[in-house]
Amino acid sequence: MDYPDVPYLVKLNSKTHLVKTTQKDPHSPLLVSVQDAIDLRDRTGLAIVAVGYTIYIGSEYEPEMMREAQQVILDAHRNGLLVVLWIYPRGSAVKDEKDPHLIAGAAGVAAALGADYVKVNAPKKEGEKSSMLLKEAVLAAGRTKVVCAGGSAIDEKKFLTELYDQIHTGGASGNATGRNIHQKDLAAAVRFTNAIFAITVEGAGVEEAWKIYTEGQDR
Amino acid sequence: MDYPDVPYLVKLNSKTHLVKTTQKDPHSPLLVSVQDAIDLRDRTGLAIVAVGYTIYIGSEYEPEMMREAQQVILDAHRNGLLVVLWIYPRGSAVKDEKDPHLIAGAAGVAAALGADYVKVNAPKKEGEKSSMLLKEAVLAAGRTKVVCAGGSAIDEKKFLTELYDQIHTGGASGNATGRNIHQKDLAAAVRFTNAIFAITVEGAGVEEAWKIYTEGQDR
Amino acid sequence: MDYPDVPYLVKLNSKTHLVKTTQKDPHSPLLVSVQDAIDLRDRTGLAIVAVGYTIYIGSEYEPEMMREAQQVILDAHRNGLLVVLWIYPRGSAVKDEKDPHLIAGAAGVAAALGADYVKVNAPKKEGEKSSMLLKEAVLAAGRTKVVCAGGSAIDEKKFLTELYDQIHTGGASGNATGRNIHQKDLAAAVRFTNAIFAITVEGAGVEEAWKIYTEGQDR
Amino acid sequence: MDYPDVPYLVKLNSKTHLVKTTQKDPHSPLLVSVQDAIDLRDRTGLAIVAVGYTIYIGSEYEPEMMREAQQVILDAHRNGLLVVLWIYPRGSAVKDEKDPHLIAGAAGVAAALGADYVKVNAPKKEGEKSSMLLKEAVLAAGRTKVVCAGGSAIDEKKFLTELYDQIHTGGASGNATGRNIHQKDLAAAVRFTNAIFAITVEGAGVEEAWKIYTEGQDR
Amino acid sequence: MDYPDVPYLVKLNSKTHLVKTTQKDPHSPLLVSVQDAIDLRDRTGLAIVAVGYTIYIGSEYEPEMMREAQQVILDAHRNGLLVVLWIYPRGSAVKDEKDPHLIAGAAGVAAALGADYVKVNAPKKEGEKSSMLLKEAVLAAGRTKVVCAGGSAIDEKKFLTELYDQIHTGGASGNATGRNIHQKDLAAAVRFTNAIFAITVEGAGVEEAWKIYTEGQDR
């Protein structure tokens, strides 16, 4: 409620990571419904424009999550909300969570379900460039836009370069950054967010974005 | 929405194949309801004329899928929609998924549930002709029409010959082709679709259909 | 729809026998509801007068089936429909499915649930006559009427004799015959049905019924 | 319907004992709802004044039964019906089903859920008198009244003595007798019921009750 | 009903501790709904101002409890009720239930779900002061207030000292005391409650509270 002008996405499911895949396959059912998100928007006036949901494909609970995701998409679209799916291959059946074909499969599932955006992990394969591998996922996603998970906190220059490559080589439509922003102090976080915005939305190159981050360029 | 004149079948359930039968028996619950399909038709004007659902008989989740399939058929028929069931014997209890008696049992289940069409795998038995074996399934299906799954991509002449035999020897009412069409380039895919149509709907022989495919006969 | 004058019983649950009890205890949930059966009757005008449901007592899924059976009985009786329960002891906890005490227990469950009829397997015990053993089940069934499953196809004279004994010694109210009728040609099936009818409903003896079957007596 | 003046308790759940605790923990879900019992009362005019439900605490299905029991109590009380809970510690986690502390715990659960009566097994401990041990359960039950299960059929004099002690030493409010009554012939069953009534409701001593039973005193 | 002026919190879920974590992970579903609590309030006029719910994070049933907790919070807040979550890390995946980071994680879950209060166990780590460790949980809880579980019955002076430290060092907003009060006689329980109130609400020090407890100061 402190930031009434910020557009919000309401994440509808979540879980702790205490129970590991070696013990039980991941399952993350709905905590709140699309209608709950709409009620929240209408009651508070917050700018809620999208909802999100995570599917772990390859989990023994995939059927439950796939069904909930599909229903979320139908409900959200009937109400004018965008949907972002987080899709991660995970479970005892999944040997390599970042296998490029599995990531592409995840993107294809999002397309089949009719998501607006799909957030996937950046694909990885020994000796290959991740942004090149991402192309397969972007093709599989069809009209669904692909964004890559920001991953663990890394060097900022490297981060911006990868982001640029994901967009300009891989065909991604942006990324989803968490720790690389919120583990910085406020001023640095704002500058880094501006740098990411410049690359993603304003067509900036890496050097330009780097300057925004390091020189605290006013915006 | 790009093809408003094409008659559509909405497949109501689906799954990835990441979790293998050796790990857990297959389960593919409804992702969308018959009502969701009707809503889609009414909202878009798309020519949705049928719905589909897969049952894995012999799976430990057979009861759940059998129940959903039965309810889908009741709902669809109350709303004037055709129903195609995909029925595959699969699970740790199933030793041979293409055993002719099991395929016939699958067809019989479709008849008992009241499906309009059942899609089965072509039966296989050492030293026997598949189209001959199919007769048992067609008999078991009663008034439900039988179509065979297209299977993996094969030589086109062989494909058309098998299709002809499935219809004229086995008593099938058509087939359900995927990879053999969509893994061709567009022009070849259109010609091959025309060839399949000629055999299935227009009573053409194999040679005539082959000519349609190879000579790009205009239609 | 071809036989609008035949009184029908709608069986509400069913399953394949692909998954064996050694793998998983039997479970056969409702495929259609009592209301679905009533809708069918009202829409078609078919003479639907009863519904049926199978419970596998001793299965790990007994609670689910017991509950559904009880609700089916309440719903059916509120709507003027008769209810036949098929009750078979089955599951890894059941050593002898035809133990006379277990069959009597099955009949007692049907009485406690308020079924109109219960279909049980004919009890069997080394050195005892099945029709004598059946008395215990008929007593346990109270006001619920007992019918025996017809079992595998056997010699017709033997069949009619057993039927006579089940009714006149065991106290059964009839039987439920499948394979012994539908695996005959139509003419023989009609004669055999007439013979069964004569014993069950008209008080005929075995020889009289046998004559009906063998001499094709007109009816 | 043959005994319209007898006040009835409708037992809402039940199960067979075919599946043993060594195979699977006990689970006994609702077969009929409180509303079903009320409908029965209103339709038939039977004097239905109470409902009953069994919880197996210590079973892996305790959460399901605890929840149903709680909802039964809320529904029954909203409709002016009394509730008796049968609570038995049972399951692979329970080493001694008649441990006095566990029996007291069972009584405490009934109190926490707001039951009017709780039926428990008489507590047992080597070298202790059961009616003395029962005091702990009666204290734990608070305002919920405690009745003991009648147990297996035993010598009548012993039965009446134990009943007297349960009430006058242990603080029980009565007992729940089955086999000790219904396995007698009708005349003896009536006399024995009268004897139990005399102790429980009329303040009779053991000898007086014994006389009622043995001398067939008219009532 | 004997204490109509006391503000009540209705605990919505609970369980026995008969089934241990070594046998099956803990699960404690809703016994009554928020609506049931509101009905109770409206029917009785009792001062019900809050509801409570326990989540065992790290249990295999975490998803079920997390979802119920979230829905409880939405329902309660729509109806003007406060919500206290009891959150305990527990299950075969949890090695140390009092690990300070896990306790902080529990507090963070409560914040994410929007609880008003979270009750956690006091964190413990070899060689560290619990009230210092608690700071991490209070930070993670954000706007959700933290109260510590009272734990097993201990020496009263020690209890009051720990409570003072939890509030003044750790940042807790109070505590949740059970056995340390209700296992005393009534007079001592009242004095001890007054002592706790003095520290928690009136800003008293340990010595002042101790005097209230030991000298039976009138209030």
Catalytically active residues of A are 88, 119
Q: Name the one residue in this structure whose structure tokens are 């399949």.
A: B196
Chain B residue with Cα closest to A59: B19
The rounded distance, in Å, linking the Cα atoms of D90 and D98 is 10
B146: enclosing H helix or E strand: strand B145-149
DSSP bridge partners of D9: D50
Taking CB atoms and an 8 Å cutoff, what residues of chain D touch E28?
Answer: 63
Taking CB atoms and an 8 Å cutoff, what residues of chain D touch E21?
Answer: none
Q: Name the one residue in this structure whose structure tokens are 């990879």.
A: B179
Predicted local confidence at residue D107, as pLDDT:
98
Indicate if the pLDDT at residue D218 is higher than 70: no
Smallest Cα distance from D110 to chain E, Å: 12
Q: Test E58 with A18 for CB contact under 8 angstroms.
A: yes
Taking CB atoms and an 8 Å cutoff, what residues of chain B touch A111?
Answer: none
Q: How far is CA C64 from the centre of its chain?
A: 21
DSSP-derived letter for residue C7 is -
Calculate mean pLDDT across residues B52-81: 98
Predicted local confidence at residue E154, as pLDDT:
79
Chain C residue with Cα closest to B66: C31
Indicate if the pLDDT at residue C206 is higher than 60: yes
DSSP notation for A36-85: HHHHHHHHH---EEEEEEEEEETSTTHHHHHHHHHHHHHHHHHTT-EEEE
ipTM: 0.91
Indicate if the pLDDT at residue B9 is higher than 70: yes
Calculate mean pLDDT across residues D182-194: 95
Indicate if the pLDDT at residue B57 is higher than 70: yes
3 state SS for D1-37: CCCCCCCEEEECECCCCCCCCCCCCCCCCECCCHHHH
Q: Test C14 with B74 for CB contact under 8 angstroms.
A: no
Query: Looking at per-residue confidence, does C46 or D1 come out higher?
Result: C46
The rounded distance, in Å, linking the Cα atoms of D172 and D168 is 7
Q: Of the candidates E59, E60, E70, which has its C-beta nearest A32's C-beta? A: E70
Rounded (5°) CA angle A61-A66-A72: 130
> In a mutagenesis test of the A interface, which of B16, B46, B60 is the best target, namely the one with the most A β-carbons within 10 Å?
B16
Taking CB atoms and an 8 Å cutoff, what residues of chain B touch A114?
Answer: none
The pLDDT mean for chain C works out to 95
Q: Does pTM top 0.90 for this prediction? A: yes
- pLDDT 10s digits, C24-75: 999 999 999 999 999 999 999 999 999 999 999 999 999 999 999 999 999 9
The rounded distance, in Å, linking the Cα atoms of E219 and E193 is 11
Q: What is the largest CA-CA distance in chain C?
A: 52
Q: Of the candidates B58, B64, B70, which has its C-beta nearest C18's C-beta? A: B58
Indicate if the pLDDT at residue B56 is higher than 90: yes
Share of chain B residues as helix, strand and coil, in percent rounded to the nearest 5: 45, 15, 40
The rounded distance, in Å, linking the Cα atoms of C80 and D130 is 51
The rounded distance, in Å, linking the Cα atoms of E198 and E185 is 20
Q: Test D32 with C62 for CB contact under 8 angstroms.
A: no
To the query of whether residue B213 is one of the catalytic residues in this protein, the response is no
DSSP-derived letter for residue E32 is S
Rounded (5°) CA angle A89-A90-A91: 140
CB proximity C105 to D under 8 Å: yes
- The count of CB pairs under 8 A between chains D and E is 44
Taking CB atoms and an 8 Å cutoff, what residues of chain E touch A182?
Answer: none
Chain E residue with Cα closest to D96: E18
Grade residue D219 by pLDDT with cuts at 50, 70 and 90.
Answer: low
Return the structure tokens found at A46: 């917050």
- The answer to whether the beta carbons of residues C84 and C115 sit under 8 Å apart is yes
In this complex, whether C and A touch, counting 3 or more CB pairs under 8 angstroms, is no
Q: Of the candidates C16, C19, C29, which has its C-beta nearest B67's C-beta? A: C29
> B151: exposed, middle or buried (C-beta count within 10 Å: 0-12, 13-18, 19+)?
middle
pLDDT average per 10 residues of sequence, chain A (219 residues): 93 97 97 98 96 98 98 98 98 97 98 98 96 98 94 85 96 92 94 96 97 80
Q: Of the listed B53, B88, B164, B213, which one is catalytic?
A: B88
CB proximity B30 to A under 8 Å: yes
- The answer to whether the beta carbons of residues D175 and D150 sit under 8 Å apart is yes
Q: Test B20 with A66 for CB contact under 8 angstroms.
A: no
CB proximity C89 to D under 8 Å: yes
The rounded distance, in Å, linking the Cα atoms of E59 and E120 is 16
Q: Test A92 with B15 for CB contact under 8 angstroms.
A: no
CB proximity E18 to D under 8 Å: yes
The pLDDT mean for chain D works out to 95
Give contacts of A 177-196 with E, CB under 8 A.
Answer: none
Q: Of the candidates E74, E89, E112, which has its C-beta nearest A18's C-beta? A: E89
The rounded distance, in Å, linking the Cα atoms of C13 and C31 is 5
Calculate mean pLDDT across residues B96-100: 97
- The answer to whether the beta carbons of residues C63 and D29 sit under 8 Å apart is yes
Q: Which amino acid is at E12?
A: L
Q: Which amino acid is at D100?
A: P
Return the structure tokens found at A26: 């991941």
Residues 6+ apart with CB under 8 A from B198: B204, B208, B209, B212
Indicate if the pLDDT at residue B153 is higher than 70: no
- The count of CB pairs under 8 A between chains A and E is 44
Give contacts of A 61-80 with B, CB under 8 A.
Answer: 62-64, 66-67, 70-71, 74
Q: Which is nearest to A179 in space by CA: A213, A154, A197?
A: A154
Q: Of the listed D119, D145, D164, D213, which one is catalytic?
A: D119
Chain C residue with Cα closest to B75: C36
Chain D residue with Cα closest to E36: D74
How many residues does this entry show for chain C? 219
Smallest Cα distance from A17 to chain E, Å: 8
- The answer to whether the beta carbons of residues C132 and C169 sit under 8 Å apart is yes
Taking CB atoms and an 8 Å cutoff, what residues of chain C touch B74?
Answer: 32, 36
CB proximity D59 to E under 8 Å: yes
Q: Of the candidates B63, B91, B94, which has its C-beta nearest C15's C-beta? A: B63
- pLDDT 10s digits, D31-53: 999 999 999 999 999 999 999 99
Return the structure tokens found at A34: 């699309």
Predicted local confidence at residue E106, as pLDDT:
98
Q: How far is CA E20 from the centre of its chain?
A: 22
Predicted local confidence at residue E150, as pLDDT:
77
**Integer-rounded Cα radius of gyration of chain A:** 18
The rounded distance, in Å, linking the Cα atoms of D131 and D163 is 9
Edge-first strand listing for the sheet containing D82-87:
D8-11, D48-55, D82-87, D117-120, D145-149, D174-176
The rounded distance, in Å, linking the Cα atoms of B55 and B50 is 17
Calculate mean pLDDT across residues B177-206: 95
Predicted local confidence at residue E216, as pLDDT:
79
Q: Test C32 with B74 for CB contact under 8 angstroms.
A: yes
Predicted local confidence at residue A141, as pLDDT:
98
Dihedral sign, CA of C26, C30, C34, C37? negative
Q: Of the candidates C16, C20, C28, which has its C-beta nearest B105's C-beta? A: C16
Q: Test A63 with B24 for CB contact under 8 angstroms.
A: no
- The answer to whether the beta carbons of residues E172 and E146 sit under 8 Å apart is yes
Predicted local confidence at residue A144, as pLDDT:
98
Calculate mean pLDDT across residues B148-154: 78
pLDDT average per 10 residues of sequence, chain E (219 residues): 93 97 97 98 96 98 98 98 98 97 98 98 96 98 94 85 96 92 94 96 97 80
Predicted local confidence at residue E219, as pLDDT:
53
Query: Is residue D44 helix, strand or coil?
Result: helix
End-to-end CA distance of chain A: 24
Q: Name the one residue in this structure whose structure tokens are 């007291």.
A: D104
Return the structure tokens found at B112: 């008992």
